[in-house]
Amino acid sequence: MGYPIVLTADRTLMSEYGGAMFLGFSACVPRGLVSDSVYFRIFCPPAKANPDGSAIVAPYGTRKIEAALLDYGFRREDVIVAHPERLEKIIGPETKVLGITENDPLGIGPATTTFTEIFGGEAYMAIKFRELLNHPAVKRFRPRIIVGGAGAWQLEDEGIRRELGIDTVVIGEGERVVGPLFEKAVRGEDLPGVVYGEIVGVEEMPIIRGATIDGIVEIARGCGRGCDFCVPTLQRFRCRPIEHILKEVEVNVRAGRQPLLHAEDVLRYGAKGLEVNRQAVTELFKNVKNYPGVERVGISHFALATVVSAPDLIEELSNILNLSGKRWISGQTGIETGSPRLIEMHMKGKCKPFAPSEWPDIVIRAFEILNENNWVPCGTIILGLPREEEKDVEQTISLIEKLQPFKSIIVPLFFVSAGGLKERSRSFKLDDVTPRHAELLFKCWKHNFVWMNRIFEEWSEMSIKSRLIKSALRMLISYGIRQASKYMDICEREYGCDLKAMIMDYRSGQLKIRAPVVTKVFKALLR
């Protein structure tokens, strides 16, 4: 018969990526680099579903909306979080609304843009989002479709929504607005095309009822550092009370998940402004680490300036988490550029309490502190920031060279015009890539190739039980590194780092790139 309110997310968001959240970046890679069966079985295996088709774990945003709807007054039997591969079991004539969480529905986010501009094609996340909208059960029973999540801004345009058959998009925080909105949808009333969520207080953030992908638990929301290309800048920085966090840890532990604490900067938990509140952070980590059933604690993001302003805090957290040798923790952080000029221009707050002129030294010092304490940073770099000059790119290249000794991953991303810069800038495209940019891309990738094998070996030791999967992944990584190194070499030697010319030659068939034979080996292994 179907549930009145069905919440779900596309298939790439409904995977725990084998416990390696960083592999989630692979959903931004265009389809075709490896075969679909290899991709969806090795890299992005589906999260498990209950026999009734409901999801055992779901994206944190989906769980938050589920909780907000229940708190608003919808009955438990009216709201279900569905596994995207079981929709035929859950959507029926009674289904009035399908709520979808989406990070990058059109495949135009920074990571996706970078991959698709270079490799061509369309990313898995966008493909799987469309598949969801065109699912036979959705087409047959025609529920109202409401989309929210980090990538909702991409659907603000009415034409795009109409083309995709989306009724409403919720941009921003959903808690306060989804109750009345879903109520209207259930009653069959007219819906607005766009709803802008309001910033909510911590007490209004509901406690999730079901477990989340990789045990994610939000500890704080917003940032306040004010980078002008970033959406969280628009949000007020708020920290959730420890009791709420522990309740969500409990929900996850019950489902067999270890907690992964999420904030834009976990080191600023409990801080007033930018000054670190050591006591609040250590108390939080101790409470979570000592919670019954918790063996390890993960983190999502931290800021490099905070690391340098509180090195003793990093050491203390490492002690609380029992980190040593191969037992390390990883999190994402923004390097963005090696140019103090661009920092001054676009993200003055990122380096506070230090000055923009100190930024390259802050990054190096932070990487040093992190590695000394068994933290492995995964840093992002942005190519093509507005008003970027060749000198800025050179400074970033020089910074990446200085980061070589530190165990880390560096992810170069193309600038995407969004947030506060949306009206004043345009996104960076393949056409804009100069030989200097290509050099920077190659520097980042070579940095990663040096560290990837070691990081993979140590991580897989802790996380992957199957020897077959481990060897398959090891093989794929070393094959990928060999191939990518070969083509970078060709680009440097034969094209003078003119990546665009090389890609054009590849697309016109003048440069042959062998199809990955590794795919065939994988298929044989999987059989």
Here's the x/- map for ligand SF4, 174-213, by CB under 6 A: it reads as ----------------------------------------
Q: Which among 139-147, 220-228, 406-414, 436-444 is the span making contact with ligand SF4, rule CB under 6 A?
A: 220-228
**Which one of residues 9, 111, 223, 440 is an interface residue with ligand SF4 (CB under 6 A)?**
223
Instruction: Name which of 483, 310, 328, 312 is nearest 407 in CA terms.
Output: 328
Q: Does 304 bind ligand SF4 (CB under 6 A)?
A: no
Number of residues that bind ligand SF4 (CB under 6 A): 12
Q: Could you tell me how far CA 167 lies from the centroid of its own chain?
A: 26
- Residue 382 in the binding site for ligand SF4 (CB under 6 A): no
Least separation in angstroms between CB 16 and ligand SF4: 24
Evaluate the omega torsion of the peptide bond into residue 84 and state whether it is cis, within 30 degrees of 0.
no
Residue with Cβ nearer ligand SF4 (7 or 347) = 347
350 in contact with ligand SF4 (CB under 6 A)? yes
Terminal Cα-to-Cα distance of the chain (whole angstroms): 37
Q: Closest CB to ligand SF4 among 207 and 343?
A: 343
Nearer to ligand SF4, 235 or 434 (CB): 235
CB of 424 to ligand SF4, least distance (A): 17
CB nearer to ligand SF4: give 67 or 305.
305
Are 400 and 381 in contact by the 8 Å Cβ rule? The answer is: yes
Q: Considering beta carbons, is residue 15 or 112 the nearer one to ligand SF4?
A: 112
Of the ranges 36-44, 68-76, 226-234, 243-251, which one interacts with ligand SF4 (CB under 6 A)? 226-234
Instruction: Calculate the alpha carbon distances from 238 to 60, 127, 235 in Å.
Output: 17, 34, 9
Q: Are 443 and 400 in contact (CB under 8 A)?
A: yes
Nearer to ligand SF4, 104 or 439 (CB): 104
Cα gap 399→396, rounded to integer Å: 5
Question: How many Cα atoms sit within 13 Å of 249 on the Cβ side?
Answer: 28
Tokens of 362: 């802050």
* Residue of 232, 259, 298, 331 that binds ligand SF4 (CB under 6 A): 232
Instruction: Dump the DSSP string for 241-273.
Output: -HHHHHHHHHHHHHTT---EEE-S-GGGTT-BT
Interior angle at CA 377, CA 439 and CA 409, nearest 5: 35
- Is residue 308 involved in binding ligand SF4 (CB under 6 A)? no
Of the ranges 222-230, 285-293, 422-430, 469-477, which one interacts with ligand SF4 (CB under 6 A)?
222-230
Residue 427 CB, shortest distance to ligand SF4, in Å, is 16
Looking at 53-61, 88-96, 230-238, 396-404, which segment touches ligand SF4 (CB under 6 A)? 230-238
Nearer to ligand SF4 among residue 230 and residue 288 (C-beta): 230
Residue 160, SS3 per DSSP:
helix
Comparing CB distances to ligand SF4, the nearer of 236 and 507 is 236
Asked if 277 is part of the footprint of ligand SF4 (rule: CB under 6 A), the reply reads no
The yes or no reply on residue 230 touching ligand SF4 (CB under 6 A) is: yes
Of the candidate residues 103, 212, 233, 332, the single one contacting ligand SF4 (CB under 6 A): 233
Radius of gyration of the chain (CA): 23
CB neighbours of 506 closer than 8 A, spacing ≥ 6? 513
CA-CA distance, 262 to 260, in Å (whole number)? 6
Give 446-469 as a DSSP string.
Answer: HHHHHHHHHHHHHHHHHH---HHH
Kindly state whether residue 334 participates in binding ligand SF4, applying the rule CB under 6 A: yes
Least distance in angstroms from the C-beta of 170 to ligand SF4 = 21
Closest CA to 235 of 219, 224, 248: 224
Tokens of 395: 């400074």
3-state secondary structure of 380: strand
Q: Which is nearer to ligand SF4, 174 or 232 (CB)?
A: 232
Sequence-distant (6+) residues with CB within 8 A of 389 are none
Contact residue for ligand SF4 among 117, 214, 248, 264 (CB under 6 A)? 264
Stretch that binds ligand SF4, among 15-23, 227-235, 243-251, 424-432 (CB under 6 A): 227-235
Tokens of 300: 């999502």
Does 227 contact ligand SF4 by CB under 6 A?
yes
Q: Nearer to ligand SF4 by C-beta: 105 or 232?
A: 232
Residues composing the chain: 527
Say which residue the tokens 């690391």 belong to: 307
Task: Tell me how far apart the alpha carbons of residues 239 and 242 are, in angstroms, rounded to a whole number.
Answer: 9
Lateral strand order in the sheet of 375-383:
329-336, 375-383, 409-414
Of the listed pieces 189-197, 221-229, 405-413, 506-514, which binds ligand SF4 according to CB under 6 A? 221-229
Least distance between ligand SF4 and beta carbon 271 (Å): 13
Nearest-approach distance from CB 223 to ligand SF4, in angstroms: 3
Q: Does 276 bind ligand SF4 (CB under 6 A)?
A: no
Smallest separation (angstroms) from ligand SF4 to the CB of 362: 13
With respect to ligand SF4, which residue has the nearer C-beta, 161 or 350? 350
**What tokens were used for 450?**
């040096």
Considering only 225, 240, 447, 500, the residue that binds ligand SF4 (CB under 6 A) is 225
> DSSP H helical segments within 101-191, as ranges?
110-119, 124-133, 136-141, 158-164, 175-187
Residues 154 and 104 sit within 8 Å (Cβ to Cβ): yes
**Contacts of residue 465, Cβ cutoff 8 Å, sequence gap at least 6:** none
Cβ at position 350, least distance to ligand SF4 in Å: 5
Minimum Å gap between C-beta 263 and ligand SF4 is 9
Residues that bind ligand SF4 (CB under 6 A): 223, 225-227, 230, 232-233, 264, 303, 334, 347, 350
